[in-house]
Structure 1
Amino acid sequence: MDWILLRGLTREQAHWGDFPQRLQLVFPEHRFHPVDLPGTGVHCRDDSPDTIVGIREAVRRQVAHIPKPFSILALSMGGMVALDWAQHAPEGEIQHLVLINTSSGFSPFWQRMRPGVWPQLVRLLARRELFDRERDLLRLTSNRVPPLELIKQWYRIQRQRPVSVRNAGRQIAAAARFKPTPKRPMPEALLLASRGDRMVHWKCSAVLEERWLWTLKLHPDAGHDLVIDDPDWIVRQLLAWLSR
């Protein structure tokens, strides 16, 4: 089985760290494809669409070569893209859907982004000192003390493939306006959320669980970037869900 991995706001495939390799060790028969959203990573010089629909279409063009059906595992804004994709995909195109700490227009705005985070995030993304910015982004999205080497790694990513302030703003606009259609896109999906998420309230995932009767698993204390805070927990939840 092929899996598409989508990261969140202004993040690219390198921000997964060794998570794809962890998945590969546990699921050796599967293939994992981290894909950059437009305006990030290998596409950092491209303009990002300012709608989730536009971002989704750009990503679909990137993965046209991947055999179908495939599955999607997506974090944060990547989860919005994945959810929109699942609602508009031809029948049978997407086999499994895993959404991590995502949100949608089904939730109130003060849960989709905690009060005070939006201006803080905008200030951070516009900051000129890259090392301090990446350090503070990690402190915002992770509930663990970020190792110096991880801060340096994120700094190097931004130096090599910078996300422009304009593209960051267009991604923020896309995320803020996103509201799925009422249609349940799939009979089942896995929702993973963090009770300790200081950016997006875990109830945003609970809304999707209640609306479409999907499976929700809650981490007790991780932050928004669950991939950094407890990647092994994600792998365990995925293993248990797929083996049912």
Structure 2
Amino acid sequence: MHWILLRGLTREQAHWGDFPARLKDAFPGHQFHAVDLPGTGVHFREDSPDTIAGIRQRVIRQVDHIPRPFSLLALSMGGMVAMDWAQQAIEGEIQNLVLINTSSGFSPPWQRMRPGAWPRILRLLARRELFDRERDILRLTSNREVTLELAKRWYSTQRQRPVSARNALNQLSAAARFRPAEKRPLPDALLLASRGDRIAHWRCSAALEQRWQWTLKLHPDAGHDLPLDDPEWVISRMHQWLTR
């Protein structure tokens, strides 16, 4: 089975860290492909569309060489792209859908972006010192200790493949305006959310659970970047769900 991994706002495949390797160890026989959104990673020189549909179309073109069907594992805004993809796909193209700390227009704005996060995100976008910005992004998205080694690694990634302010704003606009279609894309999907998420409230995932009768699992204290804070918990919940 081929899995497509999608990250969130202004993040790229390097920000997964060793999570893809952990997935490969946990699910032998499955292949995991970390794909960058337009405007990030290997595509940092490209302009990002300002709609989720536009981003999804560009992502699909990137994976034309990978045999179908796909399973999708996506975090935050990547989850919006995955949701939109699953709704637009032909029957059978998407087999499994795992959404981590994602949100949608089915939830109110103050849950999709918690009020306390807005000032910090705006300050981050305006900050010129790259190392401090990456360290502060980690402090906002993770509820674990931010080590100097990790901050340096994220700084190096952004220095090599910087996300432009324009692309960051385009992605932010796309995420803010995203509302899925009413039709349930799959009979079941796995929703993983963190009670300690300081960006998106876990009730955004609960809204999807209630609307489409999907499976929701809540982590007690991890932050928005759940695969960074507790990768083994994510893998364990995936294993339980896939073998249901």
Establish whether TM, by shorter chain, passes 0.5.
yes
CA distance in 1, matches of 2:87, 2:108: 21
CA distance in 2, matches of 1:173, 1:116: 19
TM-score normalized by the length of structure 1: 0.99
- How much does 1:106 deviate? 0.2
Amino acid corresponding to residue 185 of structure 1 in structure 2:
P
Amino acid corresponding to residue 126 of structure 1 in structure 2:
A
SS in 1 for 2:96: strand
CA distance in 1, matches of 2:242, 2:95: 11
CA distance in 2, matches of 1:170, 1:123: 17
- Aligned match of 1:83: 83
- Aligned match of 1:149: 149
C-alpha RMSD over aligned residues: 0.6
Amino acid corresponding to residue 32 of structure 1 in structure 2:
F
- Aligned match of 2:43: 43
- Aligned match of 1:70: 70
Residues 196-235 of structure 1, C-alpha deviation per residue, up to 9 Å, x if partnerless? 0010000000000000000000000000000111011000
TM-score normalized by the length of structure 2: 0.99
Amino acid corresponding to residue 183 of structure 1 in structure 2:
K
SS in 2 for 1:144: coil
SS in 2 for 1:91: coil
Residues 14-37 of structure 1, C-alpha deviation per residue, up to 9 Å, x if partnerless? 000000000000111000000000
CA distance in 2, matches of 1:35, 1:175: 18
Residues 101-149 of structure 1, C-alpha deviation per residue, up to 9 Å, x if partnerless? 0000000000000003223212202311000000000000011111111
Residues 155-206 of structure 1, C-alpha deviation per residue, up to 9 Å, x if partnerless? 0000000000000000000000000010000001000000000100000000
Amino acid corresponding to residue 24 of structure 1 in structure 2:
K
CA distance in 2, matches of 1:161, 1:101: 25
Identity of aligned residues (%): 75
Q: Greater CA deviation, 115-124 or 62-71?
A: 115-124
Amino acid corresponding to residue 164 of structure 1 in structure 2:
S
- Aligned match of 1:55: 55
- Aligned match of 2:128: 128
- Aligned match of 2:100: 100
CA distance in 1, matches of 2:181, 2:88: 10
Point out where structure 1 has 5 or more consecutive residues left out of the alignment: none
Aligned residues: 244
- Aligned match of 2:227: 227
CA distance in 1, matches of 2:217, 2:125: 30
Point out where structure 2 has 5 or more consecutive residues left out of the alignment: none
